[in-house]
Amino acid sequence: MKRQLTHENTLKVKPLGIDTYREHIIFMRSDCNICLSEGFAALTRLVVRYGSKSIVATLNVVHSDLLQEHEAGLSDMALSRLEVTAGDFISVSHLKQIESLSDVRSKMYHHKISEEAYRRIVDDITKGLYSDIEIAAFIAGCAGDNLDDEEITWLTSAMVNSGATLSWKTQMVFDKHCIGGLPGNRTTPIVVAIVAAAGLTIPKTSSRAITSPAGTADTMETITNVNLELEKLKEVVSLEGGCLAWGGSVNLSPADDILIAVEKALDVDSAGQMIASVLSKKVAAGSTHVVIEIPYGESAKVRSREQAMKLERCFKAVGEAMHLNIKVLITDGSQPVGRGIGPALEAMDVLSVLENRKDAPTDLKEKSIMIAAAVLELSGTFEQGKGSKFARRILEGGKAYKKFKAICMAQGRFEVPAFARYNTDIKSEVGGRVTSIDNRKLARVAKLAGAPHDHSAGIYFNAPIGTKVKPGQVLYTIYAEAKGELQYTLDYVKSAGPIIKIT
């Protein structure tokens, strides 16, 4: 009881309506006797409890009359995580030393750390015990070639164990994944539609954009609901054989989503973390057979064929350790796929392919067929080389589109996205032929325009490699939902140097 008195300290909650995003903040008066008796200072991290729930929050000290005595403010996220409202009494105490941080330090020093260490770290991250800078340090410590296959496997299973796992009635459960880095490479919805139409089970959960202008979940969200509860997701799959949901909403590998938020802020996505991120989601989703696409190109995420093959080897090694049947496709990443870059614009490409429209981008169509074929062949029911013909028939016969709409309806709605309010054309100053494209700069243009945060923002791309262009011809159109973004994006385009090389 004495311990209770000196250790736990209760304060009355006053919501301040401050949104600090993912990081929990607690606001306390500088003269509050808890601050004094416990000796808290700015940036101190505290444990905040309400009933059985508890979070770790960073202290912001208030010197004004924003708070009355015995009151504490909480950021929006902290309020909802604790499920408290005005007047509730929370208790505040010191954060005990987080043991797993010593594992993070030894990883920063490039030592190999144990399976238990990865479990400790991932558990603490999932519990919300890490501050963003501590997460950043862990991410940086795992960057480069700093994780060997065994460590990646340990990190993967730790991430799987950090959240829910799905199980399915069918023996074979399929999935596909593209490691990204290629703007507009939105094959997933088409592949899922073809594979599900072929009668296979493909419960696809996708992530939102990490460093790209759009993730599959962002794109699908412009067409249907992707935040599906676990039960809803299972219902959709048992109904249609496939789904196109956001992974985060079903709590698969939740640690991964926390890591991704910081990776995004740092604009990094390193091999070990990426493989663990991808495979942990697959294992948690109950997949048994996975096709992984690795596009490579000068300005893609993977720069060379050698690098791509190194990744392939690592994916297979870790996949085997996780009992996954993996096929890797190394593809051309020299330029964007399709025309749209950004959630809504990519969704339009997807729909045009599924509808078999004449103006549908053939590169996106052919690539989707190739991947779908790989999945069909991986199932063993189609021999090598036969998958492609079958996949094409399903797509061109309209079965895929029918299945896609059915999946969307099962997920709650089917709608065709619209263009953003503001747009401007980027025209070629010279004449000639497009010889190369800087995907990174192009992706940055789309991001500055607002993608993925603004769904209809991004780029509509008109100049694939080989295109003959006249001076004044439109190379691409930038779409934005706000004038400020558009103006700012144009400033970047002016200062960025050549994005599309014409000679």
Type of residue numbered 59: L
For a second copy, the closer of residues 5 and 167 by Cβ is 5
Q: How far is the CB of 287 from a second copy (least distance, A)?
A: 29
The H-or-E segment that residue 266 falls in is helix 254-266
The minimum distance between CB 345 and a second copy, in angstroms, equals 17
Contacts of residue 248, Cβ cutoff 8 Å, sequence gap at least 6:
207, 208, 217, 254, 257
H-only helix segments in 109-165: 115-126, 132-141, 149-161
> How many chain residues interact with a second copy (CB under 8 A)?
70
| Binding of residue 112 to a second copy (CB under 8 A) | no
Out of 10, 12, 18, 399, point to the residue binding a second copy (CB under 8 A). Answer: 18
Q: Does 215 bind a second copy (CB under 8 A)?
A: no
What distances in angstroms separate CA 350 from CA 11, 225, 306, 374, one per listed residue? 53, 16, 31, 19
Length of the chain: 503
Category of 439 on φ-ψ map: left (φ > 0), alpha (ψ -120 to 50) or beta = alpha
- Quick check: 137 binds a second copy (CB under 8 A)? yes
Residues 80-99 that bind a second copy (CB under 8 A): 94, 96-97
Among 105, 316, 393, 399, binds a second copy (CB under 8 A): 105
Q: Which of 1, 52, 109, 494 binds a second copy (CB under 8 A)?
A: 109
What DSSP string describes 326-351?
Answer: EEEEEEE-SS-SSSEESHHHHHHHHH
10 in contact with a second copy (CB under 8 A): no
470 is a site residue for a second copy (CB under 8 A): no
E strands present in 30-173? 45-50, 53-62, 71-74, 89-94
Segment holding 44, helix H or strand E: none
31 is catalytic: no
What residues contact 264, with CB distance under 8 A and at least 6 apart?
209, 210, 211
Q: Choose between 37 and 165: whose C-beta lies nearer to a second copy.
A: 37
Q: Name which of 319, 232, 256 is nearest 283 in CA terms.
A: 319
Report if residue 381 touches a second copy, rule: CB under 8 A: no
Q: Which two tokens stand for residue 176?
A: 């596909």
CA dihedral 40, 44, 49, 55 (to 10 degrees): 180
Integer Cα distance of 461 and 74 in angstroms: 44
* Residue 3 makes contact with a second copy by CB under 8 A: yes
Helix, coil or strand: residue 16: coil
Query: Judged by CB under 8 A, which of 114, 304, 362, 487 binds a second copy?
Result: 487
- Residue 151 as a binder of a second copy (CB under 8 A): the answer is no
37 binds a second copy (CB under 8 A): yes
If one asks whether residue 143 binds a second copy (CB under 8 A), the answer comes out as yes
Kindly list the distances between the CA atom of residue 12 and the CA atoms of 38, 47, 87, 188, in Å, as whole numbers in the listed order.
18, 15, 5, 49
β-bridge pairing 500-502 and 432-437: antiparallel
Q: Which of 269, 349, 363, 454 is catalytic?
A: 269
Q: Which of 48, 262, 370, 372 binds a second copy (CB under 8 A)?
A: 262
Shorter beta-carbon distance to a second copy: residue 240 or 481: 481
Q: What is the spatial distance between Cα 368 and Cα 353, in angstroms, rounded to a whole number?
A: 9
Q: Please report whether residue 17 would count as binding a second copy according to CB under 8 A.
A: yes
Question: Least distance from C-beta 491 to a second copy, angstroms?
Answer: 8
The least distance separating a second copy from the CB of residue 383, rounded to whole angstroms, comes to 41
Nearer to a second copy, 352 or 439 (CB): 439
Name the residue nearer to a second copy (CB basis): 143 or 321. Answer: 143
DSSP class of residue 247 equals: G
Report if residue 492 touches a second copy, rule: CB under 8 A. Answer: yes
Q: Which of 26, 46, 62, 278 touches a second copy (CB under 8 A)?
A: 62
63 vs 358 by CB, closer to a second copy? 63
SS3 for 274?
helix
Among positions 32, 454, 463, 478, the unique one binding a second copy when judged by CB under 8 A: 454
Check binding of 100 to a second copy (CB under 8 A): no
Contact status: 124 vs a second copy (CB under 8 A): no
Beta strand 9-15 pairing with 71-74: parallel
Using the rule CB under 8 A, is 488 a contact of a second copy?
yes
Q: Does the footprint of a second copy cover residue 52 (CB under 8 A)?
A: no
Rounded Cα distance between 88 and 86, Å, is 6
- Minimum distance from residue 11 beta carbon to a second copy (Å): 14
Which residues are identified as catalytic?
269
- Binding site residues, a second copy, CB under 8 A: 3, 6-7, 15-22, 27, 30, 36-39, 41-43, 60-66, 75-76, 94, 96-97, 101, 105, 108-110, 131-137, 139-141, 143-146, 262, 265-268, 270, 444, 450, 453-454, 480-485, 487-488, 492
